[in-house]
Structure 1
Amino acid sequence: MRAIQISNVKELKSIEIDAPAAPGPGMALVKTHRMGVCGTDVSCYLGKFPFFDFPRIPGHELGVEVVSVGDGVTNVKSGDACSIEPYMNCGECYACRRGAINCCQNLKVIGVMCDGGLCESFLVRADKLHPSSKLTYDQLALVETLAIGCHANDRGAPTGGDHALIIGMGPIGLATLEFARLTDATVSVMDMNPDRLKFVQDNYGIENTVLFKGDGSEIDRMKELTGGDMYQVITDATGNKHSMSGAFQYLAPTGTLVYVGITTDELSFRHPVMHRPEATIKASRNALPPDFTRIIGLIEDGTINTDPWITHRTSFDGVLNDFESFTKPETGVIKAIIEVV
C-alpha cells in the first residue's frame, strides 16, 4: 500500500507499507480522501517542530471514509464520512483524569508522534471519529485546524467590551478569528504580510487590520483602534519568538496573552512588561472533543464558510513535487489540500 513519508529534513519520499489488518474492538479502518497541510506539517518538514521524529508519515487534518469497524463500535459505521480528532490520549494520566485530554502526558498525535493519514488507509480509534452526513471531505479535513482556533479563542475568552487582537493570519490565526468574530469583542488582526490582511478584509469584513513593520507604527495603529486602551485579549498564532516575546507591549492592564503558535526557541522579555499590567499568560494546546462537534455543526449551518480557505491543491502523486511550495508564504498559500483519493 502506498504512503508518503517525511524521511528527513526537507525530504519526502513515496514508500510501500503493509495494508492494515481488520479493525479490532473499538477500532475503525478508514480510507483517507483528503489531507490538509498545516503549519505543523510544514514545521515537521523543515525540522522545526519539537514533538516530531524522522521518519514519519504525516497527516492529522483528515477527511476520511469509514471502511469497516470492530466490535463495540456504535458511533460510526461503514460508509460514514468523518473528521478525525488526531489526539490519541491514554485516558489514565493526571491530565486525562481531569478532562484535559488535549494535554495527556502520554499523548500521541497521529501524523506527528506516530504515523498519520497520508496513505491509502489506516486504523484509528473509532471514538476519535466525528461523522457528518452533510460535509464534503474537503470540509472535514479543515475541522481540526478550526478546532485549534476554537480552543485558543476559548482560552482567551474575549467578551463584549473587550478589544481582542490576533497576531498572525496563517491558518491557525484565521481559525482563531472564526471564533473570535462570534463573540461580542471588537477584533483586530495583525500580520506583516499585507496580502493576508487583505484576505481577512475581503473574506471576513475585518477592517481593524494592523500591518506589522517593526517601526512602532503598529502601536500607533493599535492605539487608534482601541482608543488608547490596547488589547484585553491577545492570541499569538505566529510561532515566532520575536513576535511572542514582543506581544506584551500590546496588552491592556489586566490583559491575557495566549500562545497558540509553537516555537523551539527561547522567549525573552523583561519582567516589568508582564508585571506592570498584571498580565495573564496562557498556552493553548490542541483541542477538545466538543470543539469538533461544535465546528461540524457551524459548518453545516453555514455559520462558518470554509470555501475561502483552500487556496492550493495537489494530488497524492503530486505531493513530492508540490509540497515545497506550500512552505512558502509568497505563493499565497493559506491552506493546501492533498487529494489522496
Structure 2
Amino acid sequence: MITLSCETPGKFEFKEMILPGPKKGFALLKIRRIGICGTDYHAFEGTQPFFNYPRVLGHEIAAEIAHLENEQEFHIGEKVTINPYFSCGQCIACRNAKPNCCENISVFGVHEDGGMQEYISVPESSLIHGQGLSFDELALVEPLAIGAHGVKLAELKAGEFVLILGAGPIGLGTASLAQIAGGEVIVADYNTNRLDFCRSKLDIAHTINLSETDMHTRLKEITGADMPTVIIDCTGNQEAINGALKFLAHGGKLILIGLQKKEIIISHPEFHKREATLKSSRNALSDDFSHVINCIRKGWIRPLDFISHRVAFERLPENFEKLLNSQQSVIKALVEFG
C-alpha cells in the first residue's frame, strides 16, 4: 500500500508499505476521505506542539471497514469514522471519564502515524458508526466534535452572547454548535471570505471584520455594553489569546480551543476583578461525536457546505503548499482516495 509521510517540515514523501496484518482487537480500514486541518498545516510548517518527524498526518477520517475479527457490532464494508484520541484507560484523567486529556494520550496523526495512507489499522474501540452519513460528511465529524466539546465546556445559556475568535474550520464549527446550543453568536476574524460564509451559510447575524472595525466598540454595540459572557478562542494565536480577556464580561468564561506553543500572559487584576473562568478544551469525547452526528442527521449542521477544496491523494504533495498559502479562500480541504 502507499503511505504519504511528512519527513521533515515542508517535505512529503510517498512510501510503499506492507498492508497491516490482522491484529486482535483492531480493524483494518480502507481510507476514502481525509480532512486536512490546522494540525496538519502546522505540522508541515514545523509549528505544531507535541510533534515529532517523520509522521504520517491525518486524523479526520472517513473510511470503510475492510477487515474485522468479530462482526458483532460493526461489519465489513460499513462506512465509519473514528475517535482518533487513543487513551490509556488507567491514568487519573481516564478514571475520571476524561480520556480526551489522558496523561498518556496518543492522537492519531500526531503522536503516531495517521490516515494519509491507503489502509490503516485502528482499535475497534475507536470505530464510530456512519449512521447513513456520506464519506464527505464523516470526514467532518471529528473537527465538528472539537467545537462541540468547547461549547459543552462553556455551559451556554439560551440567549447568552458568545464571541468566537477565529473563523477557520474549527471556529466555524464551534460557531454552528454554539448557535445550536442557544447562544447569540458573534464571530470575529480578519478573513472577509470566512465572515461572508458565517452570514450566508451559517446564518450568523453578528460578525466583526477586525481589519475594518474596532472590536471593543462593536462588541459594546452588539451586547448593549454588557460584553460577551463567553469567549471561545479558535485561533491558536498568542496575541489573540493574551488579548481576549479585555473583551470578556464580568463573571464570564474564556475557553481555549486553539493551541500555540508560547506562554499565556494575562493581567491578573483584569482576570481577578471579573471572577473569570479560564478553561482549556482538548480534543473531544465520545458524546461529542454522537452529538455532532445527531446534528448532521437532523440537518442542523450542513458539513458539505464547509468543503471548499478537494485534492486526490496522489496529488497531495504538489498541492499541499498551495492549500496552505491560500488560507484566505480555503474553508475545508478534503483528500480523496480512489
Is TM (by shorter chain) over 0.5?
A: yes
Task: Tell me the residue number matched to 2:222.
Answer: 225
Give runs of aligned pairs for residues 80-119 of structure 1, distance below 5 A. Answer: 80-119=78-117
Map of 1:298 onto structure 2: 295
Runs of 4+ in 1 over 2 A off after TM superposition: 328-331
Does the 8 A contact of 2:193 with 2:328 survive in 1? no
What are the Cα deviations for residues 250-292 of structure 1, in whole angstroms up to 9, with x where unaligned?
Answer: 1001000000000002222221121121110000000001111
Q: Which amino acid aligns with 2:309?
A: H
Query: CA 1:148–1:275 in 2, change beyond 3 Å: closer, same or farther?
Result: same
TM-score w.r.t. the length of structure 2 is 0.97
Q: Distance between the aligned counterparts of 2:194 and 2:154, measured in 1?
A: 23
Aligned to 2:173: 175
Aligned mate of 2:163, from 162, 165, 184: 165
Is contact 1:69–1:78 with CA below 8 Å preserved after alignment? yes
**Taking every aligned residue pair, what percent have the same amino acid on both sides?**
38
Deviates more, 1:201-210 or 1:142-151: 201-210
Query: Take 1:323 and 1:312, find their aligned partners in 2: how far apart are those partners?
Result: 11
User: Among 267, 286, 290, which residue is 1:289 paired with?
Assistant: 286
Question: Which residue matches 2:186?
Answer: 188
Whether the 8 Å contact between 2:136 and 2:304 is mirrored in structure 1 is no
Aligned residues: 338
The CA distance in 1 between the partners of 2:194 and 2:271, in whole Å, is 29
Counterpart check, 1:327 vs 2:324: yes
TM-superposed CA distance for 1:75, in Å, is 2.5
The residue that corresponds to 2:43 in the other structure is 44
1:164–1:186 Cα contact (<8 Å) kept: yes
- Unaligned segments of structure 1, at least 5 residues: none
What secondary structure sits across from 1:307 in the alignment? helix
For the residues of structure 2 that align with 1:216 and 1:296, how far apart are their CA atoms?
Answer: 36
Structure 2 unaligned regions, length at least 5: none
Matched letter for residue 33 of structure 2: R
Q: 1:300-334: CA deviations, max 9, x gaps?
A: 22121112100001001110111112212455001
Contact 1:75 1:126 in 2 (8 A): no
**TM-score normalized with structure 1 length:** 0.96
- For the 8 Å contact 1:178–1:304, the answer to whether it is kept is yes
- The answer as to 2:34 corresponding to 1:35 is yes
Amino acid at match of 2:167: M
Does structure 2 conserve the Cα–Cα contact (< 8 Å) formed by 1:23 and 1:68?
Answer: no
The two structures, once aligned, show a CA RMSD in angstroms of 1.3
In structure 2, what residue type is equivalent to 1:304? I
Contact 2:180/2:300 (<8 A) preserved: no
1:1-341 to 2 correspondence within 5 Å? 1-24=1-24, 26-71=25-70, 74-213=72-211, 217-341=214-338
CA distance in 1, matches of 2:159, 2:65: 45
